Amino acid sequence: MIPKGSFITFEGIDGSGKSTQARKLAEHLQAQGRDVILTREPGGSEGAEEIRALVLQGEPDRWSAETEILLFTAARRDHLERTILPAIEAGKVVICDRFADSTRMYQGLSRGDLRGTVDQLHKLMIGREPDMTILIDMDSNTGLSRALSRQGVEERFETFGADLQAQMRAGFLSLAEEFKERFVVINGARSIDEVSVDVCQTVDDHLAKQ
């Protein structure tokens, strides 16, 4: 019998610890014998990783706000078709570092109010929400300093500074209210292990109820 697959996403501001927690959750579930796929956005399939380089490197104003929405959504469509849906159908737990809620926030709020456009395109081209979304919440200055300490070539939104990070934090919290049925908010301003205990417990409870 094929077990029921599940689609779990991590959201939160840059530097909040999403990638760290997604990795620890994957290890936790694998240790239980679950078949797990750990993936990320933008990216997660060959074509989507190519689009990632287009949107996260180069000049910050390289794309218009609308073109950027199209590029993130194109990457998501490829990732969904080639990686996420086949894995869920095969009974795997898909853990994804960011998904459509990030587009609702970053493309929907950061350069004017484009949330309506993001939602329309999502409905038309994606039409799928996660089964559970874990919001790693923390104050925006801590997140920003952690993110900037990484110093990579990808720093699209980190360079926009503290105000945008604060706006994104508030936006994610209101998104958690809007989609109450799938969001769980976890306090990320603690040690990696303390946060991880909460994340793993929350997901264990969710999977046990499936």
Please report, as ranges, the residues that interact with ligand ADP according to CB under 6 A. Answer: 12, 14-20, 146-147, 150, 191-192, 195
Query: How many CA atoms within 13 Å lie on the side-chain side of 152?
Result: 13
CB of 116 to ligand TYD, least distance (A): 16
Contact between 102 and ligand TYD (CB under 6 A)? Answer: yes
| Binder of ligand TYD out of 23, 47, 49, 56 (CB under 6 A) | 56
Cβ proximity to ligand TYD, 19 vs 117, nearer residue: 19
Residue 51: which of 33, 81, 18, 75 has the closest Cα? 75
Non-local (6+) Cβ contacts of 139 within 8 A are: 169, 189
| Binder of ligand TYD out of 106, 144, 188, 200 (CB under 6 A) | 106
Contact between 78 and ligand TYD (CB under 6 A)? Answer: no
The CA-based dihedral angle spanning residues 14, 139, 107, 98, taken in that order and rounded to the nearest 10 degrees: 50
| Binder of ligand TYD out of 6, 9, 103, 196 (CB under 6 A) | 103
Contact between 98 and ligand TYD (CB under 6 A)? Answer: yes
Question: Residue 110 and residue 138: Cα distance in Å, rounded?
Answer: 19
Other Cβ atoms closer than 10 A to 205: 11
- 114-153: contacts with ligand TYD (CB under 6 A): 147
CB 97 within 8 A of CB 40: yes
| Binder of ligand TYD out of 19, 117, 142, 167 (CB under 6 A) | 19
The option from ligand TYD, ligand ADP, none interacting with 41 (CB < 5 to 8 A, set by class) reads ligand TYD
Contact between 97 and ligand TYD (CB under 6 A)? Answer: yes
Residue 106: which of 175, 204, 43 has the closest Cα? 175
Size of the residue set binding ligand TYD (CB under 6 A):
17
Question: Residue 100 and residue 41: Cα distance in Å, rounded?
Answer: 9
Question: Residue 171 and residue 108: Cα distance in Å, rounded?
Answer: 10
Residues lying near ligand TYD in the complex (CB under 6 A): 14-15, 18-19, 41-42, 56, 72, 97-98, 102-103, 106-107, 147, 156-157
